[in-house]
Structure 1
Amino acid sequence: MGELQAGKSPFKTESNYDNNLKIWSGGERRTLFSTDLSIGEIIFRQMERHPKLIAQISVTEETVLTWEELHMNAKRVAIYMRKLGLEQGDFVGIIGRLTTHLTAVAYACFFNGTPYHALHTEYDESTIERLFGISRPRLIFCDGDDFEKVQAATEDLQIQIITMRNHPEGSLRIQDILRIPVGQNFQPVRLKDGTDQTLAILSSSGTSGNPKAVTISNSQQIIASFVPLSSSDILYNPNTLDWASGITMTVNAGVFSTTSIIEDSGFNPGALCSLIKKYKISFVFLSSSQLAMLANCPEFESADLSSLRFLTYGGSNCSLDVQKQVRRRLCRDCLNFSYTLTELNGPGCMNFNFDEKPNSVGRPVRGIKVKIIDKQGVAQGPNNLGEICIYNGQNWSGYYKNPGETKKMQDSKNWFHTGDLGYMDEDGYLFIIDRLKDMLKYQTIMYYPSEIENVIAEMPNVVEACVFGIWDPVNGDEAAASVVKKPGTQLEAQEVVDHVKKRITTKFKQLNGGALIVDRIVQSGNRKTNRAATKAEFIKIMKKNTL
């Protein structure tokens, strides 16, 4: 595929600005379905409309399901749940990779109005015990790989566990459930609490503390009505059901009858390049870290990416150099940053115009309002820095059984306080500077690690960097960095320190705490950079090296 710089995005977002209130709006929400319908009812009817279309292809398990087959499997799982007596007030636990039948489990929960609570497979036993101790699911679906860990973590709850693959001897297998007969009269339930009822519980990123149980409602805000998806689209999403993009892609695949390409192994950027060509994938959703991996893999330079209509990424900051490196290989302006919170139930802002506004996270999508507030809570006008706050006009049930943290996130007027520092420009595009909580202080001077990370990202042999503060009794937070180098290249820690010193003249923003070349940046279960854990690993290695 030839490299083209032309080709503007045909997709636009509005940005209406109220100068009196200093609030930006994406305009009225567009509804595609009757507003009283639940997500489960919408997907159920859509599955009936396109029975013979391909719903899902698993490239690792080599399975292909039509919408008719997936519909039938979801109904079988839903019937099993009903036979167990699960009701709308109960929860189903999920800890699973993207295996063939995981989507059927999610849709079954939607059909029954029984929300699932999804946790990442990398969570340790104590985290699983704590989070499932909050929702107390009556049934758990997990991979056999994690069976013993899940069983030990939920021992006191006496929960039925069903395995999705690599089944331990004697376990109840998903295949056993998929033999259940389905009658002619099966229908999705009507929700007792309407679209305010909880659809699922996800976990917050846990980058600044323990993960919290985030409720997601049946609001149609989760439906991507602002993106022209259709049954001809082929989607690829490597993120599991515990991630916001995982549930969003699963919901929208059902709503728009698209084909999903899934794999249950770890993300492989070189393999993705091949999949895009083979299946003519049109929509890809990656984390920022995965985008950096894609940009720096050898296969990317010659990959055929001509089928892509959307290459969307999000979850954390991504260096502008990586974004430009990816955009250079695309024949149209389809590199989109999706900025959101798990708590929002859908995207907050999207940038459909990278060429026009590089490094912006975009304008508010329909149904979203944004304001920037200073330390006193006063709304700011264009180009003024402050905390980003978002309003979606939807009911949010908060962090499950955690009203204290809920009040910290959403104020009395239902604005979400993101904890992100940024500004809106004069055209209504949002730019993020850093996490407020990530702010460092050298002596009496405050600074943000993202500025140093961006400078490190300029180095040609760098894939990813994480900067954090190492405490010094005299200076306070001395910046230090863990850096991942490109495979097959040479990079020394001192080279990173010297590059930052050359590019940044102020002493307090230099890597006074040192640098370390590492194999990976530690991430939370939701694939966001975990500064606290990365810092802890840095300190541990440095101490070991000095012994």
Structure 2
Amino acid sequence: MLNNGVGNWIHRRRLKSAGQTAVILADFELTYDALARRINQVSNALAERGVVKGTRVAFLGGNHPAFLETMFAAGQLGAVFVPLNIRLTPRELNYALNDSGSEVLIVLASQDEQGRAAAQSSPVREYLVVANHPGESSDYETMLSGAADNHRDVSVAHEDAAIILYTSGTTGSPKGAVLTHGNLTWNSLNVLVDYDVTSKTVALLIAPLFHTASLGMGALPVLLKGGTLVLQERFLPHEVLAAIERYRVTSLSGVPTTFQLLAEDQAWNTTDISSLEMLTCGGSAVPMRVLEAFEARGLGFSGGYGMTETSPGATSLRAEHTREKMGSAGLPHFFTDVRVVDALGQDLPRGEVGEILVCGPNVIREYWARPEATANSYYEGGWFRSGDMGYLDEDGFLFISDRLKDMIISGGENIYPAEVEQAIMELPAVESVAVIGVPDEKWGEVPRAVLVLREGSSLSTEQLIAHLSERVARYKIPRTAVIVDELPRTASGKIRKNDLRKQFGVTNA
């Protein structure tokens, strides 16, 4: 075959797993044979509409088989897939469409109004709507019904662009990270080596596929191995628990809040979750009470660290190390290397905090049409500057201190909010927390805690300070605390600290 990229994966997998279930959404199921046939139809239909190698094809929608069909069909043609975040405003989406130069936009019916507004004054020349329920009448299904299902084989190399994924844009304009077919392939191999993904894996995807973790750590490795994806359109704890029992789910990924809400749901103790074998938690460390709730059901957590620019895996922490290396993001993935350096790019001794660098075949080589941003993001040798602070312990395990830009400097002392947040999360009354810096005449900056409390709980600033005084240095303790109903988050569940700084980062907030 001429195509050595991701676009041919399902065509190749069809030969080995034709009758195996590939994708499930509610009562709709596709075998690998059916999925491959539909991908071929989308590929041929797009080709008839002028899509060639290098054309950008965008998709706006949540977890739906059409997302995967469009992505693989684009890859089959050597086109570049542009998944869009449904949580963005039409203006933000329009920016991504214009920045990427996307000519085709495929939209779920639930996002039609949003998509049409975004497509105005953009390069989009083909606009197609997909029914929310797979297979129902729509522009998309009409396109498929009129297309041949023969397989197209276009020359695609690992070096060719596969996906443009826009960063969450917590600061400044979002940048398009260009993930090549090689990046996606090597990331998937890292997952297969470092986690227990098999052809029998049934992975429930509750995070949106337009987010790199759900796509790169969940969907692609499972499909490469011939397992089954169960797509969840939204996160409601009781629905997730029901899906685990119904489909005999073996693998589940999420952020700490995801698992906390599952363990607190009224159906938690009555749901059969005995099929679960692997839990993966990202975003931040698992709170002890959540860890214990799942350990009581015989389950442990794997974890890891990564970012869009690493496709996304950089490190992994297997469940057997969770308690031994509490708070760690784990060891570098098998085909990936990690360093910690000072401000001059020199390696630091074990235990010293510095900027985390990542290198490997899963690391992107460029941002879309951003030569300056690309040049500023690497040290010599292809070492990507993560912008995150951390250290390696004596065994080579990575510990994340914080985002470089989130670090608070108070009276000349560096304060890493993640350390303070982890200590605060030990309080039973706290559901989630973010620590930001507030201007201070004497110290330059001092910490402030922004808290979400569990229902029916209360917490005074005095109680917070008393708790922290035994756990962190005095200068790290927040001088003030603000209680809110919820914290602003990105699609991946990460807290948008830039938004919090705008709202609460002033002295009299």
TM-score past 0.5 threshold: yes
Residue in structure 1 matching 2:142, options 157, 176, 184: 176
Shift of 1:511: 2.3
Letter of the structure 1 residue corresponding to residue 429 of structure 2: N
Q: Label 1:336 to 1:294 Cα distance change in 2 as closer, same or farther (>3 A).
A: same
- Work out whether 1:455 is the aligned partner of 2:418: no
8 Å CA contact retained: 1:106, 1:116: yes
Residue in structure 2 matching 1:411, options 379, 383, 390: 379
Unpaired segments ≥5 residues, structure 1: 1-33
Counting only pairs closer than 5 Å after superposition, residues 379-394 of structure 1 correspond to structure 2 as 379-393=347-361
CA distance in 1, matches of 2:170, 2:252: 25
- Work out whether 1:293 is the aligned partner of 2:256: no
Shift of 1:467: 1.0
- Work out whether 1:430 is the aligned partner of 2:398: yes
- Work out whether 1:309 is the aligned partner of 2:277: yes
Letter of the structure 2 residue corresponding to residue 257 of structure 1: G
Residue in structure 2 matching 1:215, options 149, 159, 178: 178
What corresponds to 1:68 in structure 2?
33
8 Å CA contact retained: 1:351, 1:362: yes
Q: Label 1:505 to 1:247 Cα distance change in 2 as closer, same or farther (>3 A).
A: closer
- Work out whether 1:262 is the aligned partner of 2:231: yes
CA distance in 2, matches of 1:211, 1:322: 36
Letter of the structure 2 residue corresponding to residue 240 of structure 1: P
Identity %: 22
Shift of 1:327: 4.8
Counting only pairs closer than 5 Å after superposition, residues 76-91 of structure 1 correspond to structure 2 as 76-91=41-56
Unpaired segments ≥5 residues, structure 2: none
Q: Label 1:172 to 1:276 Cα distance change in 2 as closer, same or farther (>3 A).
A: closer
Letter of the structure 2 residue corresponding to residue 527 of structure 1: G
What corresponds to 1:55 in structure 2?
22
Letter of the structure 2 residue corresponding to residue 114 of structure 1: A
8 Å CA contact retained: 2:19, 2:33: yes
Letter of the structure 2 residue corresponding to residue 341 of structure 1: M
8 Å CA contact retained: 2:3, 2:153: no
Residue in structure 2 matching 1:347, options 297, 313, 326: 313
Q: Could you give the per-residue CA deviations for residues 110-136 of structure 1, whole angstroms, max 9, x where no partner exists?
A: 222211111210111221122211111
CA distance in 2, matches of 1:357, 1:304: 30
So what's the TM-score if we normalise by structure 1?
0.84
CA distance in 1, matches of 2:460, 2:143: 54
CA distance in 1, matches of 2:412, 2:481: 23
Shift of 1:84: 0.7
8 Å CA contact retained: 2:204, 2:232: no
CA distance in 2, matches of 1:452, 1:302: 35
Letter of the structure 2 residue corresponding to residue 291 of structure 1: F
Shift of 1:278: 2.4
CA distance in 1, matches of 2:52, 2:265: 47
What corresponds to 2:161 in structure 1?
198
So what's the TM-score if we normalise by structure 2?
0.90
Q: Label 1:503 to 1:259 Cα distance change in 2 as closer, same or farther (>3 A).
A: same
Residue in structure 2 matching 1:233, options 201, 224, 239: 201
Shift of 1:78: 1.1
8 Å CA contact retained: 1:389, 1:418: yes
Residue in structure 2 matching 1:162, options 125, 128, 131: 128
- Work out whether 1:144 is the aligned partner of 2:112: no
Q: Secondary structure at the match of 1:178?
A: helix
What corresponds to 1:107 in structure 2?
72
Q: Label 1:529 to 1:154 Cα distance change in 2 as closer, same or farther (>3 A).
A: same
Q: Secondary structure at the match of 2:279?
A: strand
How many residues matched? 497
Q: Secondary structure at the match of 2:145?
A: coil
More contact order relative to length (CA 8 Å, sep ≥ 6): 1
Letter of the structure 2 residue corresponding to residue 293 of structure 1: L
- Work out whether 1:531 is the aligned partner of 2:497: yes
Q: Label 1:101 to 1:323 Cα distance change in 2 as closer, same or farther (>3 A).
A: same
Letter of the structure 1 residue corresponding to residue 23 of structure 2: Q
Q: Could you give the per-residue CA deviations for residues 457-495 of structure 1, whole angstroms, max 9, x where no partner exists?
A: 0111222111111223343223222222224x2224546
Shift of 1:430: 1.3
What corresponds to 1:252 in structure 2?
221
Q: Label 1:470 to 1:347 Cα distance change in 2 as closer, same or farther (>3 A).
A: same
8 Å CA contact retained: 1:99, 1:164: no
Q: Label 1:254 to 1:324 Cα distance change in 2 as closer, same or farther (>3 A).
A: closer
Q: Which moved more, 1:442-451 or 1:336-345?
A: 442-451
What corresponds to 1:38 in structure 2?
5
Letter of the structure 2 residue corresponding to residue 406 of structure 1: T
Shift of 1:323: 5.5
8 Å CA contact retained: 2:205, 2:252: yes
- Work out whether 1:521 is the aligned partner of 2:484: no
CA distance in 1, matches of 2:111, 2:506: 28
Counting only pairs closer than 5 Å after superposition, residues 303-342 of structure 1 correspond to structure 2 as 303-314=271-282, 316-321=283-288, 324-333=291-300, 335-342=301-308
Letter of the structure 2 residue corresponding to residue 283 of structure 1: S
Residue in structure 2 matching 1:483, options 451, 468, 473: 451
CA distance in 1, matches of 2:63, 2:371: 32
8 Å CA contact retained: 1:217, 1:345: no
CA distance in 2, matches of 1:151, 1:524: 23
Q: Label 1:80 to 1:509 Cα distance change in 2 as closer, same or farther (>3 A).
A: same
Q: Label 1:115 to 1:318 Cα distance change in 2 as closer, same or farther (>3 A).
A: same
Q: Could you give the per-residue CA deviations for residues 48-96 of structure 1, whole angstroms, max 9, x where no partner exists?
A: 322221112213xx31222222222211111111001111111011121
Q: Secondary structure at the match of 1:379?
A: coil
